[in-house]
Amino acid sequence: MKELLSTYSKFFIVEVDNVGSNQIQLTRQGLRGEAEILMGKNTMMRKIINEFVEENPGHPIEGIIGSLKGNVGFVFTNGDLGVVRTELEANVRPAPARVNAIAPIDVIVPKGPTGCDPGQTAFFQTLQIATKITKGQIEMTNDTHLINAGEKVTASQVALLQKLNINPFTYGFILKSVYDNGSIFDAKVLDITDEVLAAKFGEAIKIIASLSLAIGIPTQASVPHSIANAFRAVIAITIGLESYSFEQAEPYRAVCCKKEPEPAAEEPAEEAPAPAPAAASDY
């Protein structure tokens, strides 16, 4: 372990609860040439790290000792942390629920036919699951929130999932912490991509520009907006003048000052001839 700590400048601290040896071996193969996986007893790893710190006083590796709790291990690399992370998270396996195991996620059983005969209706009633009989089998009428994340799985819940042939959980390497050239941070920081950073930076620039314009103090963020506002004011004044213009204002004048063609004068309608006077009545 001391050799790995001296050779590599980056590593993940990973949690490997419910991960079998075969799955770990497949992960090692996938990371061959990119990273190395180290598992061991926490007490032994703490002892080695303490000895390494004594040999290298002030080394920041001392800060990870508090993270060595539970079933954890190390994944060392000098390459791209994002590539190694992708490989670690891709190697997961579906697994059935076990009695008294802590559920890592919520389990929702979808509605629909169960394949169980009507004689097992009482079992579903015990779990307070609404059912009906359709075509000689039990059918669940609603989606059922069976298990909440963080709760212990009961025997009846396991029995139901086995009857429905559902493997609700997936197990693999869970990234807990990251060590990168002396910095220790949560693995969630790796979710921050260049696109996310650019979007956050753009939002901050907008806020600075708004504040600068509001209080009248020019900054690099607000100067482009000030120039644009001044140009709009000059264009507005120029459009209102008939005897003055300049080259950059002409396109705007052409649009705003465009005269509508006058409608053609209508020819006066010919007067209808007056009606002939009525003939005098004979008396």
What pLDDT digit, counting tens, does each position of 124-140 carry? 888 888 888 888 888 88
What integer pLDDT is reported at residue 282 of this predicted model?
A: 47
What integer pLDDT is reported at residue 235 of this predicted model?
A: 84
What integer pLDDT is reported at residue 160 of this predicted model?
A: 87
Tell me the C-alpha distance between 142 and 138, whole Å. Answer: 12
Band (pLDDT 50/70/90 cuts) for residue 24 is confident
Percent of the chain at pLDDT > 70 equals: 90
Question: Which residues does residue 180 pair with via DSSP β-bridges, in sequence order?
Answer: 10, 183
Across the range 144-171, mean pLDDT stands at 86
Band (pLDDT 50/70/90 cuts) for residue 207 is very high
- Rounded to the nearest integer, the mean pLDDT of the chain is 82
Percent of the chain at pLDDT > 90 equals: 3
What integer pLDDT is reported at residue 148 of this predicted model?
A: 86
The better pLDDT of the pair 91, 37 is held by 37
Domains located in the chain, CATH noted = 2-92+172-191 (3.30.70.1730), 107-168 (3.90.105.20), 196-256 (no CATH)
Percent helix, percent strand, percent coil in the chain, to nearest 5 = 40, 20, 40
Band (pLDDT 50/70/90 cuts) for residue 17 is confident
Tell me the C-alpha distance between 196 and 186, whole Å. Answer: 17
Which tokens in the block code for residue 69?
A: 């709790």
Collapsing DSSP to helix, strand or coil, 152 comes out as: strand
What integer pLDDT is reported at residue 229 of this predicted model?
A: 87
What is the H or E stretch that residue 239 is in?
Answer: helix 223-239
